[in-house]
A = this chain, B = another copy of it.
Amino acid sequence: MTHPTRSDLERFFSPKSVAIIGASQDLITISGQPLSHLINHGYTGKLYPVNPRYQDILGHKCYPSLADVPEVPDLALILINAARVADMLEQCGKKGVPYVIIFSSGFSEMGGEGVALQKRLTDIARQYNIGVVGPNCQGMMNVADKCYAGFGSVFFAGYPAGRVSMVSQSGGFGFSVLSLCSEGGLAFRQMVTTGNEIGVSSLEFIEYFVRDPHTDIIACYLEGARDVARIPEIGLKALDAGKPILMWKVGNTDEGQKAAASHTANLGGAMALYKAAFKQSGIIQVDDIQDVTDYGRMFRCGKLPKGNRIAMITVSGGAGILMTDECVSRGMRLASLAPETVVKLKEFVPSFGSLANPVDVTAAIFNDLALIRRTLQAIVDDPGVDCIALLNASLQGEIATKIAAEIIAIADTTDKPIACAWSARDVMARDAYAALDEARIPHYKSPVRCGRAFAAMSGYAEAKRRIDAQRGEQALVLKKTQSKQMLVGRTTDVAEYEAKKVLAEYGIRVTQEALASTRDAALVIAKKIGYPVAIKVQSADISHKTEAKAVKLGLNSDAELSVAYDEVLANAKAYNAKAKIDGVLVQEMLRGGTEAILGITNDPLFGPAVMFGLGGIFAEIMKDVSFRLAPVTPAMAREMIAEIKGYPLLAGARGRAHADIDGLADAIVKLSALAVDLKDQVAELDINPLFVMERGKGVVAADALIRPKVQD
């Protein structure tokens, strides 16, 4: 588990005093840069360089040791050789320094001895309750308070202050995001890089940004983290605070999975669980610097659309097509304009324009500025429109400035988000762009980027509505004892008949069945169930029963059953002579229904997650599955069901009966409750197949497998 670290992070980002341990007079080196940057960018607190080799650096008295520093600094920067870092951190601890950034490399990223060195740092940090950032990082930059406490190319320039705060596990790359976003018109408040992240974690920084009154938008560059199980909790806090989180999760290429018994665990690679965590807490995934800039600028407008219907006003048909493609493919809809709106537009839009959405006002706009104002006002007033895009092609110069003024005037009067796709080069529309920026009206060089940003905002707003609506819903909690007792101490895979008893205890319906130890017993059971039946040899040593030919389906009579009974046992023995056989399971044959798969994967970091998909082939070959971290509420379960591509199959496509989606959602919720209750006993669980019957007829687990969690 993650160690709770300090949370008074305003002290970290706005320290009253900073000690620079290992400061150098060679200002271009890593150890020389931080002091120089802090001074050059106008840091207003106290600076204490520490280095026995110097009397002073850049006019600041240099102290021979940290002990000599005349006060307890809020922040210490450690810029010395890896081998000496631990001792220095201990000195910080003894002095009572609350926050330390360790820049030095040579720890776990090196492997070997570095791992042990890093472990020592972790221990010291805990002992003294030091909020450590790093090691192997490039520091922090609080642009707003002019605290540039780091090194790297980006620190040689200054940046405008904004209301975006970011944490990045990559140092060099993280700061280049700040630099390029700033170039692209998105200003940051603060940026911190966490490197090996032994102390304050990325998620803890995000949690702080949610509290920080000066932060509106949060960004994160994440490779991986220890405390990922907290993502949903922190994501929901940010959602409540109205602060979108732009999450850039990298390392998405699964380099082959661990050996897993179940399909669920095979499909539930780390990325699937990250995505589930983001989805269930409204966190927005981004894939490039441009996304951070573009989405950030969109959210900066401070408005959220009430629905996903967009209207466009364009002076060029081509751009309208492009933006429609982008918005529709990302889940938005083209608003249908109300008849009254069309009547209004007809009064002034030229006859060779278009009155349907996208509304094409054509180049006639050059002759009549009132055209854009009246059109925009008519669209804003349409109750079927949630947000509006203006596609202004390359309009430039004076007319551009005038049009920007018209847009701003109307935007000020509405809470519907308005943004522009405007392709004029910066030098050709400087005044127009500056006015839009001042009014926080986002503008983009390409309709594609504008559409993408709209879709990101619309998706976020939709997630917020959806999640808010679910807040009242409680997750089902079940506490059962039999299954727990049965699973304690188990080290091998649990065979079907026992696994299904576990399901049954949690209220998930399973096939009628019983275990027979003799052929006669099998006949009695079959009689009770009614033919046709299936039989399956049960043995913890034979997980792949079909491969072992230890299964027979569709047996129609006593005669067929008798023959088959002997055959499956013989096959099982031939497959594995040493297998301990528990008996032969005699089972009802299900008719009809759609084959689905449900499962649990209990991740060491995320904890239990639930998976849903259709029939084995859909899940395994098409990877058409959905995941959520447990607990899963009924609304979340219905989302999981609706989100797979094969959903139409359950919803009555191809002339099928409508499947029992309520029953399926109920089973998912129960499985989630099981996953939570048995999180210390179950490592993986597959229900495969689960038959989803017609509406009102529920679901039935036809086979199941449990891999127990082996205690260390």
Please report the C-alpha to C-alpha distance between residue A351 and residue B105 in the assembled complex, in whole angstroms: 11
Within the complex, the shortest CB–CB distance from A326 to chain B, in Å, comes to 8
CB neighbours (8 Å) of A648 from chain B are: 621
Within the complex, the shortest CB–CB distance from A332 to chain B, in Å, comes to 11
B221 touches A106 (CB 8 A): no
Q: Which residue of B lies closest to A327 (CB)?
A: B253
Q: Which residue, A172, A250, A315, A328, has most C-beta atoms of chain B within 10 A?
A: A172
Please report the C-alpha to C-alpha distance between residue A617 and residue B329 in the assembled complex, in whole angstroms: 22
CB neighbours (8 Å) of A645 from chain B are: 621-622
Is A180 in the interface zone, CB < 8 Å from B?
yes
B251 touches A321 (CB 8 A): yes
Within the complex, the shortest CB–CB distance from A522 to chain B, in Å, comes to 27
A251 touches B325 (CB 8 A): yes
Known pairs A287-B448, A446-B288, A622-B622; A250 contacts B318 (CB<8 A) = yes
Q: Which residue of B lies closest to A289 (CB)?
A: B446
B449 touches A174 (CB 8 A): no
CB neighbours (8 Å) of A325 from chain B are: 250-253
Please report the C-alpha to C-alpha distance between residue A387 and residue B30 in the assembled complex, in whole angstroms: 32
Contact of A172 among B172, B289, B319 (CB under 8 A): B319
Which A residues, 37 to 56, have Cβ-Cβ distances below 8 Å to chain B?
none
CB neighbours (8 Å) of A176 from chain B are: 393-394, 423-424
How many of A's residues come within 8 Å of B, CB to CB? 78
Please report the C-alpha to C-alpha distance between residue A329 and residue B288 in the assembled complex, in whole angstroms: 14
Contact of A153 among B352, B362, B424 (CB under 8 A): B424
Within the complex, the shortest CB–CB distance from A40 to chain B, in Å, comes to 15
Is A152 in the interface zone, CB < 8 Å from B?
yes
Is A348 in the interface zone, CB < 8 Å from B?
no
Contact of A649 among B173, B394, B617, B653 (CB under 8 A): B617
Is A324 in the interface zone, CB < 8 Å from B?
yes
Is A465 in the interface zone, CB < 8 Å from B?
no
A154 touches B253 (CB 8 A): no
Contact of A174 among B221, B318, B352 (CB under 8 A): B318
Is A87 in the interface zone, CB < 8 Å from B?
no
Please report the C-alpha to C-alpha distance between residue A623 and residue B105 in the assembled complex, in whole angstroms: 50
CB neighbours (8 Å) of A571 from chain B are: none
A153 touches B289 (CB 8 A): no
Is A396 in the interface zone, CB < 8 Å from B?
yes
Please report the C-alpha to C-alpha distance between residue A300 and residue B50 in the assembled complex, in whole angstroms: 52
A157 touches B620 (CB 8 A): no
B655 touches A547 (CB 8 A): yes
Please report the C-alpha to C-alpha distance between residue A446 and residue B170 in the assembled complex, in whole angstroms: 14
Is A169 in the interface zone, CB < 8 Å from B?
yes
Please report the C-alpha to C-alpha distance between residue A152 and residue B106 in the assembled complex, in whole angstroms: 58
Interface 0/1 of A219-232, CB less than 8 Å to B: 00101000000000
A157 touches B425 (CB 8 A): yes
Within the complex, the shortest CB–CB distance from A612 to chain B, in Å, comes to 16
Contact of A445 among B106, B180, B251, B425 (CB under 8 A): B180
A352 touches B109 (CB 8 A): yes
Q: Which residue, A30, A176, A648, has most C-beta atoms of chain B within 10 A?
A: A176
Give 6 A-B pairs besides A290-B290, A617-B646 with Cβ atoms closer than 8 angstroms: A152-B394, A153-B394, A157-B425, A172-B319, A289-B445, A622-B646
